[in-house]
Amino acid sequence: MKNQWIEFISGKVTVKVSGRGIERFINVLIRNGLIVWNVKRHGTETITFTMRLQDALKIRRYARERECSITFLKRAGMPFLFKRLLKNSGFVGGAILFLLLIMFLSNVIWGIEIKGAKPATEYQIRKELDKMGVKIGKVQFFVDNVEGIQRKLTNNVGNLTWVGVELKGTTYHLQVVEKKEPEKPEQLAPQNLVAKKKAVIDSMYVETGQKMVDIHDHVEAGQLLVSGIIGKEGQTQQVAAVGEVWGETWYKSHVELPLTTKFFVFNGQEKQKFSLILGKLEIPIWGFGKPEFKEFELDKNMKKIHFLKWELPISIGNETLRAREETIRTYTEKEAENNALELAKDKIKSGLDEEAIIKDQKILHKEFKNGKVILDIHFKIIENIAVGQPIPKETTE
Amino acid sequence: MAKKWGLRVRNWMAQKMDLPQDVMMDLPRITMIGQIHIYIENHRGLITFTDKELRLLLKQGQLQIRGKSFVIKTILPEEILLEGKIDQVLYINENPGGTK
């Protein structure tokens, strides 16, 4: 006997045959390779048996030659189950829809918890998150990944030292550490103001303290500018000298700038690709074909799909191809010189206080060599050269 | 010639090597399990089938099986498995000259 399950999969039919000469009919069937089983006699002129679905389709041909009538009684097996499934497709559709809905809802942000932040900071963080699109009810796929959120938050919210972002299921947990800015001491300790570096005094503004130098004086580094000891001889008093002493200082700078530079720029064209990733297998679902641009940079992103609290081994991949173009920038000698000068200024300024002003610059040396412009520049800069220096205790009386 | 040769070899083997006779002589081979199952190989077709009687055509003569509530579990061109309560297994020889 054949395996029951194979028959079940291919489908089986119970057939009722009535008429005369049924035995001969069965002989014909089996000789023609139609497999028949469970043959039962019901009364004198009726027999029932089971056969495969594919054989049942042929049976009419043999029956026509004889005086037998055939009725199909019972249909069983996968093909019929499948048919019934189609008939009740509403239920199947509902079940699939339900699963999809749960899957969809598992990938929605359902909560944002912020811990360790003051209400004001929390408000700021929430506003920043809103801007990023991290909101309750949003789908996680369209939101930055955790590292991105973390980076953006630390960059954009000023008074955060560190923020840990963690995605637990459908809730974002944010652990916040705020910056504790030291409060400025109200009462400064007694101090002098001394020169930071060699300079010529340009202007002075002294709040408290005894002025020791004058405008146009040349001072060396460490020289006393404003003393914290005030009062007449013998009745001196120690205070914190406060003030600004603007001095002219000098810097030398050396810059080299090539006349031609090769670099890549994005021209704004981009192509998005989405794919379903199953382990190592990638199935593209959106964005087919090769991009119409040759040079591009690839940005890959992967998002895991969740089902309730579990991570499914399926993820959605998003590739962004950005077209880039090679550009060659060429300067004339004059342009190169100007740009090199700007570059030098920027370099100098980055090392100075924000209030410092470049008063004058002078090109000491200019050279064009190996497709480069080489400049040595002398800068005159006016900056605050005063720094506080506590008055040692021993010097008091 | 070759066929005859083969037949002779097979006959010799059947005798010398204790091989079953049904293979050589086209005789039915009947296996019974108690009263409930009967398995017949080498039949030549169905003649009668009711729930009390089964008649099979053999190469020589017929085989009649009597009993109660018969169901043919499997039927293939040369094999048949019958289920039910078997009372009798009978050989019917219309021309006795054909059997051994």
Give the pair of three-digit tokens for residue B51.
Answer: 């729930």
Is A36 in the B-facing interface, judged by CB distances under 8 Å?
yes
Measured between beta carbons, which residues in chain A are less than 8 angstroms from residue B77? 30-31
Integer angstrom CA distances of residue A94 from A23, A56, A305: 49, 34, 21
The Cα of B77 is separated from the nearest Cα of chain A by a number of Å equal to: 5
pLDDT of B99 > 50? The answer is no
Centroid of chain to Cα A135: 16
Structural domain includes residue B86? yes
Structural domain includes residue B40? yes
Backbone dihedral angles phi then psi of residue A156, each to the nearest 5 degrees = -90, -25
Task: Indicate whether this complex's ipTM tops 0.85.
Answer: no
- What confidence category does residue A181 fall into, taking pLDDT thresholds of 50, 70 and 90? low
* Other beta carbons less than 10 A from residue A127's beta carbon: 11
**What is the Cα–Cα distance from B91 to A65, expressed in whole angstroms?**
32
- What confidence category does residue A182 fall into, taking pLDDT thresholds of 50, 70 and 90? low
Structural domain includes residue B7? no
pLDDT of B87 > 60? The answer is yes
pLDDT of A22 > 80? The answer is yes
**What is the Cα–Cα distance from A241 to A228, expressed in whole angstroms?**
5
| Mean pLDDT of all residues in A369-385 | 86
| Mean pLDDT of all residues in A260-281 | 82
Structural domain includes residue B6? no
| Mean pLDDT of all residues in B40-47 | 90
Count of domains forming chain B = 1
Q: Specify the length of chain B in residues.
A: 100
Who has greater pLDDT, B70 or A262?
B70
Closest partner CB to B77 (pick from A1, A22, A30): A30
**Nearest CA among A370, A383, A378, A382 for reference residue A341:** A378
The Cα of A80 is separated from the nearest Cα of chain B by a number of Å equal to: 23
A378, β-bridge pairs: A252, A362
| Mean pLDDT of all residues in B49-61 | 89
Instruction: Give A16's contacts (C-beta < 8 A, 6+ positions apart).
Output: A42, A46, A47, A48, A70, A71, A72, A73
Structural domain includes residue B17? no
pLDDT of residue B81: 93
**Does A40 contact B73 at a Cβ distance shorter than 8 Å?**
no
Helix and strand tally (H, E) in chain A?
9, 22
**Does A41 contact B70 at a Cβ distance shorter than 8 Å?**
yes
| Mean pLDDT of all residues in A243-247 | 86
Q: B87 lies in which domain range? A: 26-98
The CATH number of residue B81's host domain is 2.60.40.2000
| Mean pLDDT of all residues in A195-218 | 84
pLDDT of B47 > 70? The answer is yes
What are the helix (H) ranges across chain A? 4-10, 22-31, 53-56, 59-64, 78-87, 89-106, 119-132, 146-156, 333-350
Structural domain includes residue B11? no
- What confidence category does residue B3 fall into, taking pLDDT thresholds of 50, 70 and 90? low
Q: Are A127 and A134 spatial neighbours (Cβ–Cβ below 8 Å)?
A: no
Integer angstrom CA distances of residue A60 from A33, A72, A308, A328: 15, 11, 54, 82
Query: 3-class SS at A54?
Result: helix
pLDDT of B96 > 60? The answer is no
Closest partner CB to A27 (pick from B46, B71, B81): B46
Closest partner CB to B46 (pick from A26, A37, A44): A26
Amino acid identity at A286: W
Would you tell me the crossing angle of helices A89-106 and A78-87 to the nearest 10 degrees? Answer: 70
- Domains in chain A, ordered, with CATH? 4-82 (3.30.70.260), 111-178 (3.10.20.310), 185-259+331-397 (no CATH), 262-326 (no CATH)
Give the pair of three-digit tokens for residue B88.
Answer: 């009798």
- What confidence category does residue B98 fall into, taking pLDDT thresholds of 50, 70 and 90? very low
Instruction: Give A86's contacts (C-beta < 8 A, 6+ positions apart).
Output: none
Helix and strand tally (H, E) in chain B?
2, 6
Integer angstrom CA distances of residue A111 from A77, A114, A139, A154, A173: 48, 10, 12, 20, 8
pLDDT of A384 > 90? The answer is no
**What is the Cα–Cα distance from B54 to B44, expressed in whole angstroms?**
13
- What confidence category does residue B56 fall into, taking pLDDT thresholds of 50, 70 and 90? very high
Structural domain includes residue B74? yes
DSSP state string for A142-156: GS--HHHHHHHHHHH
**Nearest CA among A144, A148, A182 for reference residue A163:** A148
DSSP state string for A193-214: EEESSSEEEEEEEEEESEE---
Mean pLDDT of chain A: 83
| Mean pLDDT of all residues in A288-304 | 77
* Other beta carbons less than 10 A from residue A392's beta carbon: 9
pLDDT of B97 > 60? The answer is no
**What is the Cα–Cα distance from A207 to A203, expressed in whole angstroms?**
13
Structural domain includes residue B8? no
Instruction: Give A129's contacts (C-beta < 8 A, 6+ positions apart).
Output: A112, A135, A149, A153
Measured between beta carbons, which residues in chain A are less than 8 angstroms from residue B71? 38-40
- What confidence category does residue B34 fall into, taking pLDDT thresholds of 50, 70 and 90? very high
Strand pairing category for A111-115 and A171-178: parallel
